[in-house]
Amino acid sequence: MNDADLPHLVIGACMNVHRALGPGLLRDAYDECLAIELREMEFDFKRNLPLQFDYHGRRVKTGAYLDFVIGGVLLLLVRSQEDVSKREQQELESKVKLGRFKAGLLVNFNVSSLRKGIHQVTVKRREVPQGGVA
């Protein structure tokens, strides 16, 4: 499987969960069902990892957690709320950047159509020319 395909496959798993449960439940229900779905699809993932990153050569440990890290390259944040704020979308972008992930998804299951609840971030890495620095 190509890393570029991973977000689409994970979105499919989220849609399966949403189709089965519908909107209106607490976040932990979607979390647990999504973990089952991802296991059945044989994805390598970890849950509830603390966000850690390097700053000026020192390891910084935060109180923030990463809901799902899939294949070591995709961050998935799960929500079940009325709406996703701009701040939460920025949080996704920051966590993707600090965690050095290739992509990130923020999925809000408390919507009538899941497509409206999906926010995606893809990191575009600049290529470094030979002998130079980007």
Beta carbons within 8 Å of 36's beta carbon, 6+ residues apart? none
Q: What is the pLDDT of residue 75?
A: 98
Per DSSP, helices labelled H in 1-134 are 6-21, 27-40, 86-98
pLDDT in tens, 35-51: 999 999 999 999 999 99
Q: Is the pLDDT of residue 77 over 90?
A: yes
pLDDT (mean) for 86-99: 95
> Across all residues in the chain, what is the average pLDDT?
91
Terminal Cα-to-Cα distance of the chain (whole angstroms): 29
Domains of the chain (ranges; CATH) run 3-122 (3.40.1350)
Beta strands 74-79 and 103-108, pairing class: parallel
> How sure is the predictor about 125, in pLDDT bands with cuts at 50, 70 and 90?
low
Name which of 66, 68, 92 is nearest 17 in CA terms.
Answer: 68
Res 114 pLDDT > 70: yes
